[in-house]
Amino acid sequence: MERATGHYVLCSEQFNPFKAFVPFPLPPDPPLVLDDEICDLMEKANRALGRLDGVTALLPDTYLFTYFYVRKEAVLSSQIEGTQSSLQEFLLFEIGEAPGAPLVDVQEISNYVQAMNHGLQSIRGEGRLPLSLRLLAEVHGILLEKGRGSDKGPGEFRRYQNWIGGPTPSKAKYVGPPTDRVMECLDSFEKFLYDVPCRTPVLIKAALAHVQFESIHPFQDGNGRVGRLLITLLLCSEEALKEPMLYLSLYFKRHREEYYERLQSVREKGDWEGWLRFFLTGVLETAQQAVSAAQEILRLFDSDKRRIASIGQRATTVLQVHDIFKSRAILSIRTAREALAAKGLKLSEPTIYNSINALERLNIIREITGKGRNRLYVYDEYMAILREGVEVLPL
C-alpha cells in the first residue's frame, strides 16, 4: 500500500535548488495495515523479548551481562557508521591498553557506551525522566563530546541543512527538513513518544519512531547512532525490556543495504508495512540470538567452575580470579588486582599470578601478547561468544 509520508519543499543552496523532505506527523495516515504476517511477527517478537527478559531474571549477575551487551551494541552501531574497532580492541582500550584500531574509533564507541548508560539511568533512576527531546539532546551531547563530531554541535538540534550521500544537497540521496522546519517536526515526534494522539503498541512504536527520527535527521552529525539508541531506550522505558540486552544493530549491520533501502522506501513510497516486517524480524532474530548467547555463556561458566573446583585446595582463590575474568574478559595482572580490590579482595600479586597460571593450564584463559612483562590474558571461549557478529566491517 502506497501512501504519502511527507512532502517536499523546494530550497536553494548557492543557486542550486534542492528538495528537502518534511515528514508528516506520526502515526501514519491512512493507518497501518497490520496483516496476518505482521501480526504473527509481532507476536513472535514479543514472545522472544519475554524469553530474553526471563533469561535476564535467572542470571546470577545481571550487570555482568548488560556490561558486555551494551558494549556489543556500541561497537556494532559505530561499525555501521564506518568505525574499524572490534569488541576486543575496545575492551583493551577500557583497561588502559593500546588497541589496534585508531584511537578516534574506540573513543567514538566509548562515547556511545556513556551515552547509552546516561539514557538508561535517566529513564530508570531517581527523578525518572520520560523519553523526550531533552533526553535525546543530552544523549547526543555525550555521544559527540569527544573525538569525531565534537565540532558538530553536541547536544544541539541542527541550525544548518544536512543531507545523506552526495557532496551537496542538490546531489544528495536524501535531504531532511530545512532548518526552519526541524523543531516543528520534533514537536510532533515528541508527542508521538508521549502517545499523543493515541497509544501505539511498543514494538510498532519503536519501529515508527526510528524511521521518523532518521527522516528528521535533527542533529548535524550522529543521527544514525542516536536513532539506534532511541530503539533501546524506548523498549526499556516502556518496560518491553528490563535490561538493554537486545543488540539490534547486529541485524542492521548484517542487512545494512536493505536497512537503508527500507528507510528510503518509507519516505518515497510510504511502505511502512515493509519496514515493519524487516524491523520485527530483526527484533525476533536478535532476541533469539541473545537468549542463545546468554545460555551458552552460563553453560561455559558452569563448566569452567567445575573444572576449577577439581584442582583442590587452591580452587577458592582461582575462582575469585575467574570471577573477575567473567566481568571483563581481558585482563592484565594489574587490572585483575584492581578489580579484586574493588570487590574487597586484597590478593597479593604473586597469588593472582599463580591463579592466572592455573587458569592458563586449564586452557580457560590465554596470554595474547607473547611478552615477558605487561602480559594480557583473554578468556577465550567467553570472548568468542561475545564477539559473534562484531567482526570489523570491510571498508
> Who contacts 306 (Cβ-Cβ below 8 Å, separation ≥6)?
none
**For residue 289, what is the enclosing H or E element?**
helix 272-309
- pLDDT of 394 reads 41
Whether residue 81 contacts residue 393, with contact meaning beta carbons closer than 8 Å, is answered with no
At which residue does the C-alpha cell 513518544 appear? Answer: 193
CA 350 – CA 336 distance, rounded (Å) = 12
HSE of 110, CA atoms in CB hemisphere, 13 A: 19
At which residue does the C-alpha cell 546516561 appear? Answer: 118
Nearest to 7 by CA among 29, 22, 27: 22
Whether residue 23 contacts residue 261, with contact meaning beta carbons closer than 8 Å, is answered with no
Helix (H, G, I), strand (E, B) or coil at 47: helix
Q: Which amino acid is at 298?
A: L
CA 75 – CA 88 distance, rounded (Å) = 10
- pLDDT of 62 reads 78
Find the radius of gyration of the CA atoms of the chain. 23
- What domains does the chain contain, in order, with CATH numbers? 6-292 (1.10.3290.10), 310-386 (1.10.10.10)
Residues facing residue 367 across a β-bridge:
377
Tell the burial category of 3 from Cβ atoms under 10 Å away from its Cβ (0-12, 13-18, 19+). Answer: middle
214's grid cell: 532518521
Helix, strand, coil share (%) of the chain residues, nearest 5: 60, 5, 35
15's grid cell: 543557486
Please give the torsion angle defined by the CA atoms of residues 241, 245, 249 and 253, in that order, rounded to the nearest 10 degrees: -130
Q: Which amino acid is at 16?
A: N
Whether residue 162 contacts residue 178, with contact meaning beta carbons closer than 8 Å, is answered with no
- pLDDT of 269 reads 94
Residue pLDDT tens, the chain, 395 long? 578 899 999 998 776 899 999 999 999 999 999 999 999 999 999 999 999 988 877 777 777 778 888 999 999 999 998 888 888 888 888 888 877 778 888 899 999 999 999 999 999 877 788 899 999 999 999 999 988 888 899 999 999 999 999 899 999 999 999 999 999 999 999 999 999 999 999 999 999 999 999 999 999 999 999 999 999 999 999 999 988 988 899 999 999 999 999 999 999 999 999 999 999 999 999 999 999 988 999 999 999 999 999 998 889 999 999 999 998 899 999 999 999 999 899 888 899 999 999 999 999 999 998 887 889 999 999 999 988 877 654 43
Which pTM value belongs to this model? Answer: 0.92
How many residues make up the chain in this entry? 395
- pLDDT of 391 reads 67
User: Dihedrals φ, ψ of 18, to 5°?
Assistant: -150, 160
Nearest to 218 by CA among 269, 192, 184, 249: 184
CA 123 – CA 134 distance, rounded (Å) = 12
- pLDDT of 395 reads 34
Whether residue 182 contacts residue 26, with contact meaning beta carbons closer than 8 Å, is answered with no
CA 315 – CA 41 distance, rounded (Å) = 48
Q: For 207-231, give the DSSP string.
A: HHHHHHHHHH--SSS-HHHHHHHHH
